[in-house]
Amino acid sequence: MKASIDSIETLGLVDGPGIRTVVFLNKCNLRCKFCHNPETWIMKDTNYTSDEIVNRILRNKPYYKNNGGVTFSGGEPLLQYEFLLETCKKLKEHNIHIALDTSGIGNGEYDELLKTIDLVLLDIKHITKEGYIDITQTDNLDKFYDFVKQLNKSNVEVWIRQVIIPDVNDNEEYMINLSNFIKKHIKNVKKIEFLPFHTLGHEKYKKLGIKNPYQDKQDMDKNKCNKLYEYFLNEYNK
């Protein structure tokens, strides 16, 4: 089976624990206003077989210490489910730690795949329906909840990722609501990361001829983001 792969990053350090190979799969049904990988939205002809990807990942196995391994990202990797499932099953035969970086918007059934996954990096776009529609420009929040229900049953370790955007969710009210949302809906959370919005992807929109909804936004102030994270943790740990 083949998949449309945008790129493969070796020796990655930010998409899960340890040193990792990060595989960016093409196709995404969301159009997040803060997306810095718009080149991965559509399928392309950059096809790799499952065995080719497995071999690429195994080359770096000597570096996968301290729970290092592979992270499947995108795009939305769940949209190439059959390839992902086949590849993850092969990797488990080699005891490779597998992380899935996802927004939870796939095609519906994830139980078999989640049996092969060691860690889910779960991207939270927004916690209200109105906010979710505004940020992602789609109405897929129900699909996110469906994924979370299956994720909770699987007992897979979860890291939460939340992009903090100036004048959108950079306030204490959102921190309180986010804390309550995670505690109510998502189990087995081991880590929560705040990712400050940045403008590094703006040039990609220009090159691709895609309208950038946030072209006038500035980078999120990192000091403010850190203070909001501290406030959030105080709420979350109550």
Q: Rounded to whole angstroms, how far apart are CA atoms 232 and 179?
A: 7
Confidence of residue 188 (pLDDT cuts 50, 70, 90): very high
Give Cα 5 distance to the centre of its chain: 16
Q: Residues 193-221: pLDDT tens digits?
A: 999 999 988 999 999 999 999 999 999 99
pLDDT of residue 43: 86
Reading phi first (left if > 0) and then psi (alpha if -120 to 50, else beta), residue 17 is in beta
- E strands, 97-218, in order: 97-102, 119-124, 157-164, 189-196
pLDDT of residue 231: 98
- Strand 47-49 vs strand 157-164: parallel, antiparallel, or unpaired? unpaired
Q: Residues 42-79: pLDDT tens digits?
A: 888 778 999 999 999 999 999 998 789 999 999 999 99
98: β partners: 70
| CATH code matching the domain that covers 2-236, chosen among 3.30.310.80, 3.40.50.720, 3.20.20.70, 3.40.50.300 | 3.20.20.70
3-state class (DSSP) for residue 147:
helix
Cβ neighbourhood burial of 49 (10 Å; 0-12, 13-18, 19+): middle
Reading phi first (left if > 0) and then psi (alpha if -120 to 50, else beta), residue 68 is in beta
Q: Which residues have CB under 8 Å from 67's CB, separation 6+?
A: 16, 17, 18, 97, 118
Domain ranges of the chain: 2-236
pLDDT of residue 46: 73
What percentage of the chain carries pLDDT values higher than 70?
100
Cα 59–60–62 angle (5° rounding)? Answer: 110
18 and 39 Cβ atoms separated by less than 8 Å:
no
Inform me whether the pLDDT recorded for 1 exceeds 90.
no
95, two tokens: 């005891």
Inform me whether the pLDDT recorded for 238 exceeds 90.
no
